[in-house]
Structure 1
Amino acid sequence: MNFRPFLIECRDKQIFKKLSIFIVSSWVALQALAITWEPLGLPEKSVTYLIITLLAIFPIYTLFIWKYRISKSEKEQLDEDELKKKQNQFQKLFYSSLSIITLLCALFIVFIVNNKFLTKLQLPVFEKSDKIAVLKFGNNTGNSEFDIIGKMAADWIVHGITENQVAQVVSPEIVSDYLSILNAQATSEDNETILQDYFKPSKIISGNFYLEGNTLILQCAIAGENINETIIAFKNNECDKDKPLDCIEELKQRIIGYLITKDHPKLNLQQTPPKYKAYQNVLNAKANFSNEAMYIDLLNKAIAIDSNYFEPKVLRIAYYYGLGEYKKADSLRKAIRPSSFNNTRQRNLLNHYEALIHGKNDKIYSTIKKEYDFAPFDIQTNSTFMTVALQFVNRPKELDSIYNEVTMEGLDLLNCAFCPYRIYSKALADIELKKYDDVITALKPAIEIIEDTYLKKPLVTAYIRSNKSAEVNTFIDLLKLELPLEDWQNMCLFAGNEYVLLNEKSKADEYFEKIIHSSPLESNSYTLAKAYYMKEDFSNAQKIFKNLYQANPKNINFTTYLAISNYKLGHAQKAEDLILSLNDLRADYQYGNIDYAFAKYYASTENKEDMFKHLRKSLLDGHLYTSTSFQNDPHFKSYLKTKEFESVMNFWH
């Protein structure tokens, strides 16, 4: 195709002249705006917007020229056929040129938009997530020799986060790589822009360091996705300038400890995060709760690593309380001074252990409920609240909702330290609610996995109270093959007591006889003495209890059962002297045991008024509702349906 006539005609029709006028005018407008946008207060990208606008207008302007290129006079000088032929030839070439111009303008617009408003290079852009960016620490010492400390701090923190699989990490090197690529085309990018535009981390760790004499001081903070919004600023770390790794390791522990615990702020017992190694020891202690030696050793290690770590301190109080070492537990509680914290949950927990050690059951319940409200899904807290609701304030109806907060589906009972206690408490509550079949259904598979004897007792109760005598006999006989003699005898004593509560004396005596016949000759065991006592063979019971009492006159149970045996044998004065001697044994941390012993004695002597007085007093001092006390104690079976006893059961309601 010959373009020469077309070009000549474009010149003749002044198309080039008109296009030149547009281009020159556009160039002048751009130069003017490039100089004046800032003084006029226009956006920085005003020139870019104008270029895009002019590029978009240029094809339209060219089309406008075509539409009006031939004047009316030109049309009059040509006949119709000649005009039509000439127009068709010119039109084809003109529209081809216009298409090329339009395509080039469109490409320029796409290039400008992509280059100025989108990314300059097709680097990967990450979605916002839990990634953590670590920036190189700033050197504020004024000495470039210390620059290596900034890199060392960042590298050490990155390594700690990665090693412990806390989150994905964007290291300073990755940021620098992106920055160097982008700076090849533009120098306006910086660390903050790179992080926000490309990586979108949820947290940014940054810091700096400086010297005070020979002391290196390391500062650090964690910001959110907006680097100007600080989430937490850590306490300054100080160390010898020649041992910077001491500061860095301390800071790393704090950072990882915070990141591990940050997602559940209500569950954090600390105002400041614990050191990660201390936190690991606490987790390992909880996992080995059933191994007492390992449990307390790990708690002590956690406290040694981080003396400000609150949780292992309260867990250690609970440990010694559970062992019955109440004085030591109280001493450890007092060692945590109230002035050393301002965390509401910490105060509540210390109030809880204070109430626990002093036997204030109502306060124990209210404080553990607050703790439960903080952490209803924490299995240890959940288990503790179940125990308190049932045994401290006798609220069995509450246990269903508490138990159901933590699903047992899929849990490995062998590796779940607190699961057996939850199952046990739930079973005891269901027994009080007369849901015996539920207890049997839950416990039969559980005892196949969990060997603890205490979990078998609610199953015995459920069998007996649902009138399944054959199942009880079979179960007890099977246990004889599995348990040591003393444990099996205790199980027989427990079964006999259950039958006494049901006024089935003959069945009860069968189990007491099992104990008597399986005991060695001349035995002075407590279980044997109780078997005689419950069988109402007070003569033989009195002989054994007398020997036990003489060996240990400060034992409350020996004294009580000996006094009752003497009373039943007609030695009223001797019995009275013995029972009153319990007043000399009163001491701290007894939790109503002596008053409960008085109540049993007065129940046996049919002194109803004094019995109820001491029962109430025992509750005020912290006595518990257990599987063998109060409504489950055969001493009170004659009073179970009285209004007075009902008020005892509802004492804390």
Structure 2
Amino acid sequence: MKLKKFIDECRDNDVFKNLSIYIVSSWVLLQVVALIAPPLGLPDISLSYLLILILVGFPLYIFLFWHYVLRNKVNKRPVLDQNGAVIPGKFKSSRFQKLYFVFLGVISLATMGIVTLVIGNKFKSQTQLPVFVESNKIAVLNFDNNTGNANNDVIGKMATDWVLHGITQNKVGQVISPKVVDDYTSIMKASVVPSGKNDILKQYLKPSKVISGSYYINQDKLLMQCSIMDGSMSKTLISFEVTECDANAPLECIESLKQNILGYFLSKDESQIGVEETPPNFKAYQLWLEADANLGQPNYLNLIDQAIAADSNYFKPKMDKILHYYNHDDFEVADSLINILSKQIGTNKMQMNILNHLEACLRGNNKMAYKTYKEVYNAAPMDKELNSSAMVLALQFVNRPQDLDSIFDVMDMSNIDLDNCIQCEYRYFIKGMGDIELGKAEETVALLKPFARTRGLEWIKRALLKAYVKMGDTASTREVLDYVKLMNESEYWEQSILQTGVEFLMVNNEPEAHYYFDTLLDHYSSKGDALRRDQKTRQAAIFFYKENYPMVEKLYQKLEVDGPLSKEELAFYATALHKNGKQKMAQLKIEVLNGMKSKYDFGNVDYSLAQFYAITGDSDKAMSNLLKAVAAGKRFTNSTFQNDPIFRDYHQMETFQNILRFWY
């Protein structure tokens, strides 16, 4: 059948007429629903559902029209048998019927495609979270002159220009100058009235922030006040304290106000801004940024002091100064600074939490240190420094590896460049060590193995090596260490060889442990007398773990001549003397060790004493001193308590297990 004849037959059978009725009726229905949906409170998606229903119904309507109307009208072609006789009740499809169903198939495919587009465009967008990109435009309104003297208008003009210049110079954002804003000043003041004029400012200028202010004179003093509102002008983000200066020196007020505004904008995204009562002075903030960039450099402390001098209310540099002395083991100075700062702060809960945390650290109260820091961490859990520190506190201060997953999972690490983020590397290290503590060494390997052949990343490799040892994977252990040596990371290789040997002692694999000990001893033997102090210390420790006590005594005797021994070295020396039958000399060393106790010892002396008594067979004194050590703040590291081979025979003792749970 030709197409023209098919169209004519469709027209004769009212096919187009009925399809037109469906299309027009559907269109009218869509218009009516779109009109009445808002008054009836129907959701916007209702119209999309109706459109899909109409589209799906269209090919169904065409089929039903055939089934109930056309089938009985169209001439049927009877089916003949082999003899040419008509078979009753059987008919062949007519040519019209074939073309009709081809037409139906095309319509069905077209409607399915349209329905797919509707679902893809409408429903997908419904499930995605909207992304809001905040404008960086900052509108500055003219400052109101409330002095009653028109001659003082110049002060407002000067303040506006000064603020605009500061914003532009420091690239805070794109400014909307008073020349543009003046036309909308009256709109701003009418914002309390629902006039609708605010829509002009929001729709055309679209600032993210609006700065406004006023000034007046009280006796011979000029007072300026300023606030920053959001772009919708519905919320005041901050109202600065009134700035006061001599009426004849308005620039002093203007400069101070500019500093406050810039300090707010440039520090508002810092995680620590929540600890400040008011935004820092801009100059102080610049100095703090410079200090932060020079962390560990000789001029760091000087820059911190300058930041404090520039803004005496700026809490962050004061806190960093305390941390500087704490991290350099100058605990007495840190404690003194905490006492001074505690008298300066008011009722700011965040500042009090930070000070309480630092004080708890200095007192060795690890449970309180963890509790108070969690309050600080919860304010900005995605900050890498806060997040990393929270993980350290959970594992090393209170021995709670079970807390690590919830902290670690807060940050997405998939696109992090570890070469530029030491805190991120340390997060991986702590997470890996925590999984090992929970008996999940396989998960540590799965997490850290991708970094095994990456230069640097020493913390990550340390946890990976420990996991391989726990799993008994000696081949992978040697592969990592060979790579470290190949990369010429000699000092880290030496540390890792010793630590790996100790780890094999922890799993009672003495042959493998001695393989690593002997490897490092051979390495040191090749150097002759050219060993550094740290290498001599490692050499003595190896002989200690190999239980070659005469050699340990000999080496520590030489080390003692070079300078005072550390607490751990004294404990090892005393142990060697005791094992060599020189109990009196051993006791003298123990007395020296006891004399090293101080207010800020954090249990280190007690821990070393526990090591001595554990090896010499006095388990009661060993556990007693170990309990004192944990109570004084001794940390749970990858080489202490349950990770120290000296105490491996004590692991099943209830007393030892209670020590591990001391801070629970």
TM-score, reference length from structure 2: 0.71
Q: Give the 3-state SS of the residue equivalent to 1:205 in structure 2.
A: strand
Specify which of 587, 607, 620 is matched with residue 618 of structure 2: 607
Q: Which moved more, 1:243-252 or 1:441-450?
A: 441-450
Of 361, 369, 372, which residue of structure 1 is paired with 2:377? 372
Give the CA RMSD over aligned residues: 3.1
Secondary structure of the 1:401 match is: helix
Note the C-alpha offset of 1:369.
1.2
Aligned residues of 1:460 and 1:495 also touching (Cα < 8 A): yes
Q: How far did residue 622 of structure 1 move?
A: 0.6
Change in CA separation of 1:449 and 1:320 when aligned onto 2, cut-off 3 Å: farther
Tell me the residue number matched to 2:252. Answer: 246
State the Cα distance separating 1:215 from its structure 2 match.
4.8
The 5-angstrom pairing of residues 125-136 of structure 1 reads 132-136=138-142
Alignment of 1:100-179 (within 5 A): 132-164=138-170, 166=172, 169-177=175-183
What CA distance in whole angstroms lies between the structure 1 residues aligned with 2:488 and 2:305?
A: 34
Alignment check: 8 A CA contact 1:439 1:459 kept: yes
For 2:563 and 2:134, the matched residues in 1 are separated by 70
Query: How does 1:548-567 map onto structure 2 within 5 Å?
Result: 548-553=559-564, 555-567=566-578
Rate the CA distance shift 1:375–1:178 in 2: closer, same or farther, 3 A.
closer
Within 2, Cα distance between the matches of 1:331 and 1:619?
Answer: 24
Bigger drift between 556-565 and 308-317 goes to 308-317
| Matching residue within 431, 436, 445 for 1:431 | 436
Shift of 1:468: 1.4
Amino acid at match of 2:438: L
Q: Give the Cα separation in 2 of the matches to 1:265 and 1:630.
A: 35
- Among residues 264, 280, 290, which one is paired with 1:258 in the alignment? 264
Name 1:596's counterpart in structure 2.
Answer: 607
Q: Which amino acid aligns with 1:196?
A: N
Query: C-alpha displacement at 1:600, in angstroms?
Result: 0.2
Moved more, 399-408 or 471-480: 471-480
Residue from 307, 313, 316 that aligns with 1:311:
316
* Structure 1 pair 469–417 and aligned structure 2 pair: CA distance change class (3 A): closer
**Following TM superposition, by how much is the alpha carbon of 1:347 offset from its aligned partner in structure 2, in angstroms?**
0.3
Which sections of structure 1, spanning at least 5 residues, go unmatched? 1-126, 180-187
**Cα deviation code 1:294-348 (max 9, x no counterpart):** 7656544533432211122213322332232322322332231334322001001
The 1:516/1:129 distance shift into structure 2, 3 A limit, reads: closer
Q: Could you tell me how far apart the structure 1 residues matched to 2:485 and 2:401 are?
A: 31
- The 5 A counterparts of 1:261-410 are 268-282=274-288, 292-293=297-298, 299-410=304-415
TM-fit CA distance, 1:416? 2.2
Specify the alignment match of 1:199 in structure 2: 201
Letter of the aligned partner of 2:460 in structure 1? L
- Contact 2:367 2:663 survives alignment (8 Å): yes
Task: For 2:273 and 2:182, locate their aligned partners in 1 and report how far apart those are by CA, in whole Å.
Answer: 37
1:235 aligns with 2:246: no
SS in 1 for 2:279: coil
Q: Distance in 1 between matches of 2:498 and 2:551?
A: 16
1:418 maps to 2:420: no
Map of 1:644 onto structure 2: 655
Distance 1:255 1:612, change over 3 A: same
Q: What one-letter code is carried by the residue in structure 1 that aligns with 2:492?
A: D
- CA 1:280–1:415 in 2, change beyond 3 Å: closer, same or farther? farther
> Does structure 2 retain, via aligned residues, the 8 Å contact 1:428–1:458?
yes
User: Cα distance, 1:651 vs. partner?
Assistant: 1.2
Partner in structure 1 of residue 508 of structure 2: 503
What secondary structure does 1:589 align onto?
coil
Counterpart of 2:244 in 1: which secondary structure? strand
User: Aligned partners of 2:184 and 2:217: how far apart in 1?
Assistant: 32
**How many angstroms does 1:286 deviate by?**
5.3
Counting matched residue pairs gives: 518
Query: 1:515 and 1:204 mapped to 2: Cα distance?
Result: 66
| Long gaps (5+) in structure 2 | 1-132
The secondary structure found in structure 2 opposite 1:336 is: helix
| Local SS of the residue matching 1:268 | helix
Tell me whether 1:544 sits opposite 2:555 in the alignment. yes
Shift of 1:483: 4.4
- The residue number in structure 1 matching 2:594 is 583
Shift of 1:292: 4.8
Correspondent of 1:457 among 459, 462, 476: 462
Q: Work out whether residues 453 and 483 of structure 2, in 8 Å CA contact, stay in contact via their aligned partners in 1.
A: no
CA contact (8 A) 1:285 1:296 kept: yes
Distance in structure 1 (CA, Å) of the matches to 2:189 and 2:663: 62
> Which of 521, 524, 527 does residue 528 from structure 2 map onto?
521
1:198 maps to amino acid: I
**Mapped contact 2:287–2:304 kept (Cα < 8 A):** yes
The separation in 1 between residues aligned to 2:454 and 2:321, in whole angstroms, is 28
Matched residues in 1 for 2:152 and 2:281: separation? 26
Aligned partner of 2:479 in structure 1 is 474
CA contact (8 A) 1:318 1:329 kept: yes
Give the deviation of 1:170 after TM superposition: 4.0
Answering whether residue 618 of structure 2 is matched by residue 616 of structure 1, we say no
Query: In structure 1, which of residues 513, 533, 552 is the aligned counterpart of residue 544 of structure 2?
Result: 533
Q: Secondary structure at the match of 1:585?
A: coil
What residue identity is the alignment partner of 1:269? V
Q: Give 2:518's aligned amino acid.
A: E
Give the conservation status (yes or no) of the 8 Å contact 2:357–2:368.
yes
Residues 562/163 of structure 1: CA separation in 2 closer, same or farther (3 Å cut): same
Is contact 1:338–1:347 with CA below 8 Å preserved after alignment? no
Q: Sequence identity, in percent?
A: 38
Aligned-partner Cα distance in 2 for 1:178–1:334:
51
Assess, with a 3 A threshold, how the Cα gap between structure 1 residues 141 and 612 changes in structure 2: closer, same or farther: same
- Structure 1 letter corresponding to 2:413: M
Correspondences of 1:48-87 after superposition (within 5 Å): none
8 Å CA contact 1:549–1:555 kept in 2: the answer is no
What is the Cα deviation at residue 495 of structure 1?
0.8
Cα distance in 2 for residues equivalent to 1:563 and 1:217: 72
Q: 1:245 to 1:391 in 2, by over 3 A?
A: same
1:537-556 deviations in whole A, cap 9, x for unaligned?
Answer: 11111111122234434631
Paired AA for residue 658 in structure 2: S
Cα gap change, 1:395/1:228 in structure 2, threshold over 3 Å: closer, same or farther? closer
- 2:272/2:316 contact within 8 Å kept: no
Q: Is the 8 A contact 2:498 2:517 kept in 1?
A: yes
Kindly state the Cα deviation for residue 143 of structure 1 after the two structures are TM-superposed: 4.5
Change in 2 beyond 3 A, CA 1:467/1:284: farther
For the 8 Å contact 1:394–1:650, the answer to whether it is kept is: yes
1:413–1:450 contact (8 Å) kept in structure 2: no
**Contact 2:271–2:380 (Cα < 8 Å) also in 1:** no
**C-alpha separation between the residues in 1 aligned to 2:475 and 2:271?**
53
SS in 2 for 1:238: strand
CA contact (8 A) 1:539 1:569 kept: yes
Summarize the Cα distance change of 1:332–1:483 in structure 2 as closer, same or farther, 3 Å threshold: farther
Going from structure 1 to structure 2, the CA distance change for 1:441 and 1:249 (only over 3 Å counts) comes to farther
Q: Which amino acid aligns with 2:550?
A: S
How far did residue 224 of structure 1 move?
6.0
CA contact (8 A) 1:464 1:498 kept: yes
Give the Cα separation in 2 of the matches to 1:575 and 1:351.
41
Tell me the CA shift for residue 406 of structure 1.
1.2
